[in-house]
Chains A and B, each alone.
Chain A
Amino acid sequence: MPEALIRVQGLKKSYVSPAGSVEILHGLDFQINAGEFVAVMGPSGSGKSTMMNILGCLDTASSGTFEIAGKDTSKMSSDQLAGLRNDVIGFVFQGFNLLQRTTIEDNVALPLVYRSADKATRRAAAREILAKVGLDGYALSRPNQISGGQQQRVAIARALVGKPKILFADEPTGNLDTTTSHEIMDLFTGLNRQDGITLMIVTHEADIAQYADRLIRLVDGRIDYDGPARAYFQERAA
């Protein structure tokens, strides 16, 4: 029996707009086990990003339960959620979200600052992880001095530096060209296969989703498909 890292039951999210309350997620149920590589697909407005933000503890659900590493997040304080984001979760954004004033090394080491790690520890950890994502020698550059693909590698390094249990990525290749996109996906695949990191990636591109083992497809805030990625694409091709 594999370890359940994430357990979602009856997850709903609605927003209050001038036109009234709008429900984006209509009750999601799924479980993600340690070591899985999951792609989340769906058309625009299907609620992919909303779901990822809740799973990444950046946003809160309106109702339903969401457990991560055995802990129920609905009863957590904002500080406890911050602790989860620091310890358990790594998040990679479409727009990289690096601090422009700060060196690559300090960007990568930033999560460790909030763990009160000393400078030497932070630097060593940042250098090690930068080497892993293939950015040796860029430690003292700034984000605006490197390419988009390299910036996304920095963002991945930052997400990994705290040794999280799960990595969430929201359209990580959305701002990148095709070649660079596949390089980034190869990096993700390696992290999953060799380092056993659990991965959950939102994308709207089929060839990106094909890197994953499992596919969750959202349509209008409901799960439309949840199963092996290969089976889904083979069925579609046929």
Chain B
Amino acid sequence: MIGPMLAEAFSALGANRLRSVLTMLGMVIGVGAVITMLSVGEGTKAQVQATIESMGSNLFIVQAGSAQSGAVRTGAGGVQTLTASDAEAIADLPNVTAAAPVAPGNAQVVTSYGNWSTQIMGTTEDMLVARNWSLSSGYSFSDSDVRSASRVALIGRTIVTNLFGDEDPVGQTIRIRNLPFIVQGVLAGKGQSLDGRDQDDTILVPVTTAQRQLFAGRFGDTVRFIMVQASSTDAMSQVQADMTALLRDRHRIGEGQDDDFQIRNLAAMADSAAQTAQVMTLMLAAIASISLIVGGIGIMNIMLVSVTERTREIGIRMAIGARQRDVLLQFLLEALMLSLLGCLIGVALGVGGAWLIKLLGGLDTVVTPESVILAFAVATGVGVFFGYYPARKAARLKPIDALRYQ
């Protein structure tokens, strides 16, 4: 039954080739637009996701608070109240996977190949855990390196390019502020951060080395901030409360007095960035869906014309035994065929469009199987939805009225 009906639908569409092609064009453009737009949105989302992941997940930054002397208040970090031992104490809290003290500064770094000004971070091994940072070669520094303030360094990819060229830096010596350091490892590349900084343009040294040797006198035994990682997103509020209590206790802050530190939740920042990307994807999809609906209305329009034009044919078919559902099925099949064929070409166009945007626009685009399935589902839905009314109109005709139609 369905076999000859499919052939019938195909020949009916073939009989009005130009009209069928133009009708399909609406579907083609709609589906193509949806797939391309979704691929742009997905690409952006993936980019944001990668950036967020490179930052590390479930992170807090604990910063020293502001100080007040008379009427003058300093900004955050204006007083240096946090110490590396605060970090150690935080690390012992439940649900904390890492707490890395950071004593940062800028310095000129020199090798025999060249020199380069970069950011030096005095920290501990926990930094690598918190930032989800791995080494591409060499090995990390240990607790004993921190305790003994060894002159060892882990360097980022950008440093390698600028100070070593093609050479293998592991085991070589670099001079930071004229002090020799042994390069112990190379950090894996991370790319840009959310605010556009190059995360690979950095050198990690033991926090004690930074405090006592590199930036002697600047920190004493304090640190600028502590990077803390909670074990899960759900544990974050608990960890934040625990840290506040712990630091207030350690810093002997009485009831009613302001904290001398600030805790910033980086997960919230990452969430909002991910949400922005999600909203953008949705918006692009919504705009593209409008063209799908317009395409569907085009199909309905043509099917209505087709029903009117073929009223006599419907009458003939009914006169020789076609039931209502046969007529319904015939016109529904035609509408479905139009929309699915249009969808097929649209998918090809959309994938091509995504590829072109990647090639010419330099935007990351990702065509997901879900978006293709979605396009097919919507096309089927549009075909059935917009094809049903004309098909039913045809099926409900009385045979004699259909036959008399001129």
Contact residues of A with B, CB < 8 Å? 53, 56-59, 78-79, 82-83, 85-87, 91, 93, 97-99, 101-102, 110-111, 113-116, 119, 158-159, 162
C-alpha gap A143/B164 in the complex (Å): 85
C-alpha gap A111/B326 in the complex (Å): 12
C-alpha gap A58/B4 in the complex (Å): 24
In the complex the two chains form, is B321's CB within 8 Å of A162's CB? yes
A101-B12, A113-B1, A113-B4 known; A53+B400 contact, CB < 8 A: yes
Q: CB-defined interface of B318-344 with A at 8 Å, one 1/0 digit per residue?
A: 111111111000000000000000000
In the complex the two chains form, is B316's CB within 8 Å of A85's CB? no
Within 8 Å CB of A85, what residues of B?
A: 318-321, 399
Shortest beta-carbon distance from A90 to chain B in Å: 8
C-alpha gap A114/B1 in the complex (Å): 7
Within 8 Å CB of A162, what residues of B?
A: 320-321
Partner of B316, one of A56, A83, A97, A115: A97
C-alpha gap A162/B317 in the complex (Å): 14
Within 8 Å CB of A83, what residues of B?
A: 321, 323
In the complex the two chains form, is A114's CB within 8 Å of B400's CB? no
Which 10 residue pairs across A and B have the least CB separation, nearest first?
A: A86-B321, A59-B400, A82-B323, A58-B400, A111-B320, A58-B399, A116-B1, A114-B321, A79-B323, A85-B321
Within 8 Å CB of B92, what residues of A?
A: none
Nearest CB in chain B to that of A88: its residue: B321
Q: Chain B: interface secondary structure? A: helix
Within 8 Å CB of A99, what residues of B?
A: 313, 316
In the complex the two chains form, is A91's CB within 8 Å of B400's CB? no
Within 8 Å CB of B321, what residues of A?
A: 82-83, 85-87, 111, 114-115, 162
In the complex the two chains form, is B313's CB within 8 Å of A119's CB? no
A91-B320, A162-B321 known; A58+B403 contact, CB < 8 A: yes
In the complex the two chains form, is B403's CB within 8 Å of A78's CB? no
Within 8 Å CB of A110, what residues of B?
A: 317, 320
Within 8 Å CB of A119, what residues of B?
A: 3-4
Partner of A114, one of B11, B15, B320: B320
Chain B residues 378-406 with CB under 8 Å of chain A are 398-400, 403
Shortest beta-carbon distance from A103 to chain B in Å: 10
Would you list 18 pairs from A and B whose C-beta atoms are within 8 A, ordered by A residue?
A58-B319, A58-B400, A59-B398, A82-B322, A82-B326, A86-B321, A87-B321, A93-B319, A97-B403, A102-B11, A110-B320, A111-B320, A113-B1, A114-B320, A114-B326, A158-B320, A159-B320, A162-B321
In the complex the two chains form, is A78's CB within 8 Å of B323's CB? yes
Shortest beta-carbon distance from B6 to chain A in Å: 12
Within 8 Å CB of B318, what residues of A?
A: 58, 82, 85
C-alpha gap A91/B316 in the complex (Å): 10
Within 8 Å CB of B322, what residues of A?
A: 82, 114
Shortest beta-carbon distance from B50 to chain A in Å: 56
C-alpha gap A113/B324 in the complex (Å): 14
C-alpha gap A93/B400 in the complex (Å): 12
Within 8 Å CB of A114, what residues of B?
A: 317, 320-323, 326
A82, A97, A99, A158 — which one has the most chain B CB atoms within 10 A of its CB? A82
